[in-house]
Amino acid sequence: MTNKAVARHLKLTADLVELTGGNPFRARAYGSGARAVERLDVPVETLVADGELSTVQGIGKGLVAEIEELLQTGTMETTEDLLQSLPPGLPEVLRVKGLGVKKVRTLWTEAGVTSIEDLEGAAAVGKLADLPGFGKKTVENILASIEELKAYRGKAHLRDAATEALVARQRLRDAGLRADLAGPVRRQCNVVDRVDLVAVGTPEAVAEALGGGTTHDDRVEATLPLGLPLTVWTTTEAAYGRTLFERTGPEAHVGAVAEKAGLGDVAEEDAVYEAAGLYPIPAPLRDDPHWLTVAADGPIPALVRTADLRGTIHNHTTASDGAHTLREMCDAARERGLGYFGVCDHSRSLQIAHGLSLGEMEEQIRRVERLNADYAQEGVDFRVFAGTEADILSDGAMDYPDELLARLDLVVASVHTGFRMTEDEATARVVAAVSNPYVDVLGHPTGRLLLRREGYPLDHEAVLDACAEHGVAVELNANPWRLDVDWRFVRAATERGVLVSINPDAHSTDGLDDTRWGVASAQKGGLTPEQSLTSKSADELADWLTARRP
């Protein structure tokens, strides 16, 4: 379980304590524990194993025991007891944008709201008007957020689904069963609604290995802690390849391959493609029919891997809204085998994220210079690039003057405010930004947050045309909530010669590990190492940045 997952669980528990009218000091203890875990620069599991978690400020002995329970079982008895004490639909109300715990408690105790359906009905008939803090605009926003939540129900981010899928797979393998991921997790879909595995064995043996489940003739069904349905499809060694192929999907791909040669029992999946006269197609590519044509003519090009990335750009530090200092972030990047680090703290207009003023940006440049000098003196082969994540203002201008941007090594331009735009307005704004000669990378192009917020509408073709014209790379933001640019536009970028920059957008040291989810999405889009900006060495990146500046 990652530090972020532990922190999320502790934060939920804090909210539940407050929601149920519990001891406020207890709620604050869970909240403080969540923040402490988020700031850790080592895995919480390591501290637990070494008996050092109690030394972390903000985590008392009682909380240490509960975190140990969470790591062992995937939940905490306290959390489960609190959930059992609430109406089943009430925790989901906490996810409605604009509603803090206090407002949700008010809705529950004063308006009888126990689910988002109750909330939707109360808002629609004007029942919320008499409650404090529920003006007309708030109610409109609540209704819009409810529509989004209903659309997101039963879905999970790839990171969370994959984590639980791998645990289930390991249980099967520990029982001596051959088992692999299948379905949307294996295809590395950004968002998934189920988890599928394939295993050699009887349904009874699989259920025993999982510790439960409902058995059928060809499968075992269960529910993961995340709430997603789990299906383990059972097969024989002789039919393993066919079963894995069919259960990986998607249906359209399976049907297209089957049309070419039919589907007979084969032990290995590659034999399915061989029988159809095709080169094997990696699972992440199977949602795009383009690759069927490619595979008919020759092997699929090698896709980018995490090991291909030579460095990281677009990261944050304590100078803006990050949890760790520049040196701490750079050292963490070095520990991960990377050769360079781009610091891109927020620009001045984004005050909510402590964006850097002109003076603070000057100090940041000097800070980078000092750290590069320190590394050189220490004999460390590592380079720090001074950069910014500059806000794209409403008219497409940059948040800093060109005179300052010209002094930076690296400029990532992103939209963070003013999302209520038409497609024409958003496209014009972004195109104006990438036309700036000092913009190197277009950051998270649509601003989406998966399962939380739709991105603003954008004419991707026009934006990518502008990137190609001005030599600007497009970011594939690796944060599992973003994965933006969407994988569906990766090929459109590379066909135009636009480099794709897989950036973790790390706000803490463990955020650097989010790169793996960006790589997963990049693979789904067919990205190769040669098409990846951060697959360049430090010198190659520096040359690329220098060559494109005026």
Summarised one tens digit per residue, pLDDT across range 390-418 is 999 999 999 999 999 999 999 999 999 89
What order of strands is seen across the sheet that includes strand 383-391? 312-315, 340-343, 383-391, 410-414, 441-442, 473-477, 500-503
What is the C-alpha to C-alpha distance for residues 157 and 545, in angstroms, rounded to an integer? 33
Residue from 514, 521, 435 nearest 476 by CA = 521
Q: Whole-angstrom Cα distance, residue 492 to residue 142? A: 36
Banded pLDDT at 61 (limits 50, 70, 90) = confident
Q: CA–CA separation, 75 vs 69, rounded Å?
A: 7
| The pLDDT of residue 265 | 95
With beta carbons less than 8 A apart as the criterion, state whether 408 and 390 touch. Answer: no
pLDDT in tens, 152-178: 888 999 999 999 999 999 999 999 999
Does residue 542 register a pLDDT over 80? yes
Domain 90-153 class? mainly alpha
Topology agreement, domain 1-86 and domain 306-548: no
Helix residue ranges, H only, 379-454: 402-405, 423-434
Query: What are the boundaries of each domain within the chain?
Result: 1-86, 90-153, 156-297, 306-548
Q: Are 246 and 264 in contact (CB under 8 A)?
A: no
Query: Residue 253 — φ and ψ, nearest 5°?
Result: -70, -45
Q: What percent of the chain has pLDDT over 90?
A: 74
- Which pLDDT does position 226 carry in this prediction? 79
Q: Tokens in use for 455?
A: 């991105």
- Render pLDDT for 117-161 as a digit per residue (tens, 0 to 9): 888 888 888 888 888 888 888 888 888 888 888 878 889 999 999
Q: Which CATH class is domain 306-548?
A: alpha beta
Average confidence (pLDDT) over 181-188: 98
Phi, psi of 412 (to 5 degrees): -100, 125
Long-range Cβ pairs for the range 64-70 (8 Å, 24+): 67/6, 67/10, 67/33, 67/37, 70/1, 70/6, 70/9
On the question of pLDDT at 352 being above 80, the answer is no
Buried b (16+ CB within 10 A) or exposed e, 506-528: bbbbbbbbbbbbbbbbbbbbbbb
CATH class of 156-297: alpha beta
**pLDDT tens by residue, 190-231:** 999 999 999 999 999 999 999 999 999 999 999 988 789 999
Asked whether residue 421 carries a pLDDT value surpassing 80, the answer given is: yes
Q: What burial class does residue 334 get, using C-beta atoms within 10 Å of its C-beta: 0-12 exposed, 13-18 middle, 19+ buried?
A: middle
Looking at domain 1-86, does it have CATH number 3.20.20.70? no
Tokens of 114: 């126990």
Q: What is the pLDDT of residue 88?
A: 80
